[in-house]
């Protein structure tokens, strides 16, 4: 395989530049294995990973223009491909980008707003299984930010957007369904731009955690409309 | 003006750079990196010509707080939350992206939570489950501090645990405890920041600052920028997790589901500062899918096998060799060594594993959610139909028991230095399982750390120590040799040697071969280790080179501990001493650095308070009854 990889060290290079590396293909080779091969055999590049299972979000990159998690993306044939850093984030070096803008916001959203300590009876009490199943889905968000890289609203050049992006909305939804959170997460969804979302579903298409965003966003919008009405 | 005490308790930095920390004989390097170009003569036959590149003048940032916490996983987070609650100013340093690094944070597989509701039963179960070796002082503190853990973990930030379809909590029976599933430590990460903890992520601690027998903080580099940082604190808590990254290499990981962060940095640093390490011969194994290579051993990406699946596991001949073992005897160690035995008998598959057969009726019920979520993607993306075709699974290191020694307050022999998970946990199944032990340990360490910090007089930093470590760290980056080896090359040799030497059913010959191989790497390869790209900007290679010293030390020490224990016990099985020997080996094994730089190994009496050694022997013979 001929791998075109966008290299860039802002402390050394004047501009990003593509380098091409030849990597032997094997069945189910992952993009992460390709990066590791280049690192070990060709050039000391900067890349990161953790869990090898789309759960930590550390290895997200652009593969042929699409955001993917490198560890869980197999290449099914001996072909050429292009790897670039995740779109929409400042590049630190090679495929390492600064995710802090998005992740810091998410972290603040995720701080629970409780009104009382949680007792063992709260834990043991029966919960709504519909809510539980939504939490079971949302909790797997790896904060890989593939959704943010793909979102046409976040990446729009036309008008500045107040939409914080799908990953931030997933974090808001996580606390919205959290039985021990009492914050007004519907108001938060509105202020973080839930109505700027164009409901295109591209986030769901690229999400490695198979999160189904649109029904959740619909629910939040529905609740928000009730508030304003 | 150097601090003589701190120089005495650790090997000098020259030796350290040359890689002569453990095993002083055979120093091959000819250069000394002081920035002045001096060379010391060597009597070794292979002289390695070294060009000295000037190391920059030390420049660094200094940060100060009451309590420094190294490691931002379950242990570190719970320590941080407790310390801030008690009014301390807290700094937390993590080598990776905070909340997404190390074991549980990275794996995101939903930690098992076991809370004790019958502490005395839990206690007895843990002593039995640890084959008698658990530190009972530590155990009592862990058990007593886990009675409220179900609420406490949710209070940290996880929204809820796993529930049944009817909305009731899914609980697993556990002797003396309640077991729930689904604590995701990353959801604590917002809370720590909100509570005012200063978080320094993607920052690797390269050494502790120890002056006059007291730890006053640590130093290290920020990986994205290469900036050197000094973290000054009155109390320091280390919570850096296991160190399995020395055990073999597949394509992107060792034989472990853990993260590339888990290289044992603080365990090795502690050892070099003279702290005793203990129980290094004991690991917790589990089983994971071997193919495809890129997902091998991954919990979050592959298929894991647990003891409940014993009846679904067959060897290469299709023999379901564990189905007659009663479930209450199928502990985690038993599950591991029965499988290892089968493989050692030559009945394993082509990739060195056994087979998980999920095609049987009702098998899907055995799959926990974090495994279940992989079934469809493995089929759709990777062409593996795990519900129809047998999955080859192999042994991997899940957790490690060996760590620095500390008392029941988690305080080590160096004042002001704490370990959230010190030695003394012994092996699973302790009722207070992996994550809970780390969390309660973090809590207990934090309480003592804050108490110690209160009213403590300020200790000015000895800048000679900081400058010396700056020079060492930078010399690793700037070093040039004629015949260089990149860090990953050296690392893979270490991993290969450790994989051959360590694991189930090895012998003294295997251990000795491993020590020989590692010594060769230390003497001949480590001095040639060079970073190809000299950038300070997110230099993965530089980080790997620094980690390699720690990986090598932890691998060697693990082999030495294994060689020393001449018996088999639980997950430690060796074919030359196959029997459990309670008369001679109901003890722990400790390793300490000697004045010549070589480790000394010794038996240590088990720390017992409630169940005496005689009662333990009885308990191990009769088995556990609640």
**pLDDT tens by residue, B180-236:** 888 888 898 888 989 999 999 999 999 999 999 999 999 999 999 999 999 999 999
Sort out which chain A residues have CB atoms less than 8 A from B97's CB and list them. 48, 58, 99, 103
Residues of B in contact with A120 (CB under 8 A): 148, 150-151
Note the maximum CA span of chain B.
Answer: 75
Q: Please tell me the least confidently modeled range out of B8-17, B182-191, B259-268.
A: B8-17
- Collect all residues of chain B within an 8 Å Cβ-Cβ radius of residue A123: 150-151, 154, 161, 169, 180
Chain A residues whose CB is inside 8 A of the B105 CB are: 56
- Rounded CA separation A181/A177 (Å): 8
β A81-85/A2-7 pair status: parallel
Nearest-CA residue of chain B relative to A10? B537
The tokens describing B543, both together, are: 């980080």
State the Cα torsion B146-B151-B153-B155 to the nearest 10°: -140
**What does the pLDDT read at residue B50?**
59
Q: Do A77 and A59 form a contact (C-beta atoms < 8 A)?
A: no
DSSP state at residue B569: B
Question: DSSP code of B362?
Answer: T
Residue B450 contacts residue B83 (beta carbons within 8 Å): yes
Nearest to A96 among B107, B180, B538 (CB): B538
Q: Describe the strand order of the beta sheet including B599-605 as a list of residue ranges.
A: B403-404, B277-278, B587-593, B599-605
* pLDDT tens across the length of chain A (229 residues): 999 999 999 999 999 999 999 999 999 999 999 999 999 999 999 999 999 999 999 999 999 999 999 999 999 999 999 999 999 999 999 999 999 889 889 999 999 999 999 999 999 999 999 999 999 999 999 999 999 999 999 999 876 667 889 999 999 999 999 999 999 999 999 999 999 999 999 999 999 999 999 999 999 999 999 987 7
Residue B18: per-residue pLDDT: 40
Q: What is the ipTM of this complex?
A: 0.96
Tell me the C-alpha distance between B439 and B33, whole Å: 41
Mean pLDDT value of segment B245-266: 97
Full-model pTM: 0.93
DSSP string, B482-514: SS-B-HHHHHHHHHHHHHHHSSTTB-HHHHHHH
Contact A49 B377 (CB under 8 A): no
Contact: B151, A118; criterion CB under 8 Å: yes
CB contact under 8 A, B535 and A139: no
**Model confidence at B122, in pLDDT bands (50, 70, 90)?**
confident
Which of A14-18, A158-162, B273-277, B446-450 is predicted with the least confidence, judged by mean pLDDT? A158-162
pLDDT digits (tens, 9 = 90+) for B14-69: 344 444 333 333 323 333 333 333 333 333 334 455 565 678 899 999 999 999 99
The pLDDT value recorded for residue B19 is 40
Distance between CA B335 and CA B398 in Å, rounded? 13
Output the CA torsion B468→B471→B472→B475 (10° steps): -160
Contacts of B485 in chain A (CB under 8 A): none
A180 CB within 8 Å of a chain B CB: yes
Closest residue of A to B171, CA-based?
A124
Give the closest-approach CA distance of B196 to chain A in angstroms. Answer: 12
CA proximity to B86, closest of B197, B183, B248: B197
Asked whether residue B515 carries a pLDDT value surpassing 60, the answer given is yes
Per-residue tokens: A213: 């965003």
Around Cβ A119, how many Cβ atoms within 10 Å?
A: 13
């Amino acid at each position: 395989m001929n791998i075109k990889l966008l290299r860039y060290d802002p402390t050394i290079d004047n501009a990003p530049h593509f380098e091409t590396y030849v990597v032997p293909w094997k069945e189910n080779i992952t993009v992460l294995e390709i990066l590791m091969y280049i690192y070990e055999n060709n050039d000391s590049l900067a890349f990161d990973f953790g869990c090898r299972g789309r759960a930590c979000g550390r290895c997200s990159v652009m593969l042929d223009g699409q955001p993917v998690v490198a560890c869980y993306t197999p290449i099914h044939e001996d072909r050429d491909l292009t790897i670039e850093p995740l779109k929409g984030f400042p590049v630190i070096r090679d495929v390492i980008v600064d995710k802090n803008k998005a992740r810091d916001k998410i972290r603040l959203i995720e701080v629970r707003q409780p009104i009382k300590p949680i007792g063992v009876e709260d834990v043991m009490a029966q919960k709504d299984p519909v809510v539980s199943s939504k939490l079971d889905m949302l909790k797997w968000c790896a904060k890989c930010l593939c959704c943010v890289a793909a979102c046409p609203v976040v990446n729009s050049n036309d008008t500045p957007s107040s939409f914080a992006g799908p990953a931030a909305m997933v974090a808001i939804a996580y606390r919205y369904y959290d039985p021990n959170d009492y914050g007004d997460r519907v108001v938060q969804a509105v202020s973080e731009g839930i109505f700027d979302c164009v409901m295109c579903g591209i986030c769901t298409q690229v999400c490695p955690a198979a999160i189904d965003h649109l029904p959740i966003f619909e629910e939040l919008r529905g609740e928000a409309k009730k508030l304003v009405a | 003006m150097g601090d003589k005490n701190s120089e005495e308790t650790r090997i000098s930095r020259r030796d350290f750079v040359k890689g002569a920390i453990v095993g002083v004989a055979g120093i091959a390097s000819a250069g000394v990196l002081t920035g002045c170009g001096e060379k010391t003569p060597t009597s070794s036959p292979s002289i390695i010509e070294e060009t000295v590149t000037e190391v920059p003048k030390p420049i660094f940032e200094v940060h100060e707080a009451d309590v420094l916490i190294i490691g931002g996983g379950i242990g570190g987070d719970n320590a941080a939350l407790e310390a801030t609650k008690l009014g301390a100013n807290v700094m937390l340093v993590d080598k990776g992206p905070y909340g997404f690094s190390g074991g549980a944070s990275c794996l995101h597989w939903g930690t098992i939570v076991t809370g004790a509701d019958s502490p005395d039963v839990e206690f007895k179960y843990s002593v039995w489950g640890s084959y008698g070796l658990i530190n009972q002082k530590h155990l009592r503190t862990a058990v007593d501090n886990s009675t409220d853990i179900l609420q406490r973990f949710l209070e940290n930030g996880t929204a809820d645990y796993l529930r049944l379809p009817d909305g009731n909590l899914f609980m697993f029976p556990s002797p003396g405890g309640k077991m729930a599933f689904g604590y995701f430590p990353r959801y604590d990460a917002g809370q720590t920041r909100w509570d005012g903890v200063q978080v320094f992520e993607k920052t690797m601690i390269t050494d502790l600052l120890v002056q006059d027998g007291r730890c006053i903080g640590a130093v290290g580099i920020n990986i994205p920028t290469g900036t050197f940082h000094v973290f000054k604190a009155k109390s320091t808590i280390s919570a850096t997790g296991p160190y399995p990254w020395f055990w073999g290499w597949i394509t992107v990981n060792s034989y472990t589901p853990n993260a590339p962060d888990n290289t044992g940095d603080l365990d090795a640093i502690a050892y070099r500062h003279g702290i005793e390490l203990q129980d290094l011969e004991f690991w917790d194994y589990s089983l994971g899918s071997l193919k495809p290579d890129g997902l091998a051993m991954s919990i979050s990406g592959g298929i894991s096998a647990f003891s409940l699946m014993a009846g679904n596991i067959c060897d290469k001949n299709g023999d379901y060799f564990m189905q007659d073992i009663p479930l209450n005897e199928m502990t985690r160690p038993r599950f591991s060594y029965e499988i290892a035995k089968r493989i050692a008998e030559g009945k394993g598959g082509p990739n060195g594993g056994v087979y998980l057969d999920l095609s049987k009726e009702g098998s899907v019920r055995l799959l926990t959610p974090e495994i279940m979520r992989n079934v469809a993607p493995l089929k759709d993306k990777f062409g593996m139909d795990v519900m129809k075709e047998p999955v080859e699974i192999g042994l991997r290191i899940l957790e490690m028991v060996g760590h620095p020694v500390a008392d029941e307050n988690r305080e080590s022999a160096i004042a002001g230095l704490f370990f959230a998970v010190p030695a003394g946990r012994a092996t699973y199944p302790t009722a207070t399982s992996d994550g809970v032990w780390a969390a309660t340990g973090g809590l207990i360490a934090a309480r003592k750390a804050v108490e110690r910090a209160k009213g403590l007089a300020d200790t000015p930093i000895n800048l000679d120590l900081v400058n010396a470590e700056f020079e060492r760290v930078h010399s690793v980056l700037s070093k040039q040799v004629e015949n260089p080896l990149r860090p990953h090359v050296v690392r893979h040799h270490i991993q290969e040697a450790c994989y051959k030497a360590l694991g189930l059913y090895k012998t003294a010959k295997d251990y000795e071969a491993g020590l020989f191989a590692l010594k060769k790497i230390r003497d001949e390869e480590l001095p040639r280790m060079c970073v190809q790209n000299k950038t300070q900007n997110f230099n993965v290679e530089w980080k790997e080179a620094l980690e390699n010293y720690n990986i090598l030390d932890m691998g060697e020490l693990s082999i030495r501990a294994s060689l020393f224990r001449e018996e088999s016990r639980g997950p430690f099985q060796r074919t030359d001493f196959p029997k459990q020997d309670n008369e001679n080996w109901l003890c722990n094994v400790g390793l300490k650095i000697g004045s010549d730089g070589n480790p000394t190994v010794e038996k240590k009496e088990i720390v017992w308070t409630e169940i005496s050694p005689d009662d333990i022997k009885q308990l191990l013979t009769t088995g556990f009854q609640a």
